[in-house]
Amino acid sequence: MRTYLDCIPCFLRQSLEASRMVTSNETLHEIVLKKVMRYLQVISSFNNPPPELSKEVHAIVRNMLNCKDPYREVKKKSNEMANELYPRLEQIVEEAKDPFLMATKLAIIGNVIDFGAMNRFDVKDMINKAITENIDDNAYSRFKESIEKAQTILYLADNAGEIFFDKLLIKKFAEMGKRIVYAVKNNPIINDATIEDAKFAGIDKFAEVLPADEGQDKSAPGILLNYASSKFLNYFRNADVIIAKGQGNYESLSNSGREIFFLLVVKCPLVARDIRADIGKLILKVIE
């Protein structure tokens, strides 16, 4: 998915939000925003996906604030909140008529824990939505059949907190005897999950946790194949099934040419237009 002019205000909003998380100094907020605006003014092409620009925008923010991870406290709170919810989520899955379907829907619902998005939702309200709302039957049937046939599953993580919702589905894969590779970011970027977050959630008990962009000093809020490690690219080429969580991964990989199952909640009007769904919709979509 390409970048649109409508993305520019979102980059600025994120820059200001991150700045305010680090300091109350309004003079510094202004300096950060002006620096980001200067970068945005000289972009030669908007054909690249939004995460590629976001990678540079947030690098500017971190450098100007002299802060490696402006969202660190936000991620910590998201993980703690999701950890407290997790026993209830497990109970919902196990009591469901179709536990695999419920685990899939809750994994999608976890995507609402997203501080990069303009539209935000109440997590507990969305959990109730997972119980009652349907997802695309054809996409789900294809997803379940592909998982049953697969030996290796590459699962692309999105956000901290959300990873506990992923764990519900990953445990189901493990119970089915699947080999699971869970790809996270090598560096802090917005509230995206890193190895530290995945281990806190206990994902490493069921999957190999891999930084997709290992060796890079800047990460993007979506997997950019041009910056991915050779180890990740080997899994990307050869895994039987690829699952990509969240809007950032949809933006960066929807034109990859590889069959991918995208799991997300639509929060951005541009993604809504591209994926042809309403804001707030639970999405399970396969793109080849």
Q: What is the pLDDT of residues 264-287, one digit of tens each?
A: 999 999 999 999 999 989 999 999
| Tens-place pLDDT, residues 185-219 | 999 999 999 999 999 999 999 999 999 999 999 99
The total of other beta-carbon atoms located within 10 Å of residue 163's CB is 30
- The H or E element containing residue 135 is none
Cβ atoms of 48 and 2 within 8 Å: the answer is yes
Reply yes or no on whether the pLDDT at 89 is more than 70.
yes
Helix, strand and coil in the chain, % to nearest 5: 55, 10, 30
In CATH, what number does 87-287 get? Answer: 3.40.50.10880
Give pLDDT, residue 119. Answer: 45
Mean per-residue pLDDT for 160-171? 97
| Side-chain half-sphere exposure of 284, counting CA atoms within 13 A | 22
Give pLDDT, residue 42. Answer: 93
- Listed in order, the ranges of the chain carrying CATH 1.10.8 are 7-65
Write down the residue that tokens 């605006």 correspond to: 37
Mean per-residue pLDDT for 62-75? 96
| Side-chain half-sphere exposure of 29, counting CA atoms within 13 A | 14
- Residues above pLDDT 90, as percent of the chain: 90
Closest CA to 251 of 45, 53, 33: 53
Reply yes or no on whether the pLDDT at 121 is more than 80.
no
Give pLDDT, residue 115. Answer: 55
Give pLDDT, residue 74. Answer: 93
In CATH, what number does 7-65 get? Answer: 1.10.8
Q: How confident is the model at residue 120 (pLDDT cuts 50, 70, 90)?
A: low
DSSP 190: T
- Listed in order, the ranges of the chain carrying CATH 3.40.50.10880 are 87-287
- Residue 91 buriedness (CB in 10 A; 0-12 / 13-18 / 19+): exposed
| Tens-place pLDDT, residues 215-256 | 999 999 999 999 999 999 999 999 999 999 999 999 999 999
Residues across the chain: 288
Cβ atoms of 249 and 222 within 8 Å: the answer is yes
Average pLDDT, the chain: 94
* Phi-psi region at 232: left, alpha or beta (left = phi > 0; alpha = psi -120 to 50): alpha
Amino acid at 245: K
Amino acid at 121: F
Q: What is the DSSP string of 209-262?
A: EEETTTT-SS--SS--GGG--HHHHHHHHH-SEEEEEHHHHHHHHTTSSS-EEE
Give pLDDT, residue 189. Answer: 97
Give pLDDT, residue 113. Answer: 84
Mean per-residue pLDDT for 159-178? 97
Q: How confident is the model at residue 114 (pLDDT cuts 50, 70, 90)?
A: low
Write down the residue that tokens 């080849």 correspond to: 288
Give pLDDT, residue 133. Answer: 84
Cα–Cα distance, 170 to 154 (Å, whole number) = 11
Record the pTM.
0.95
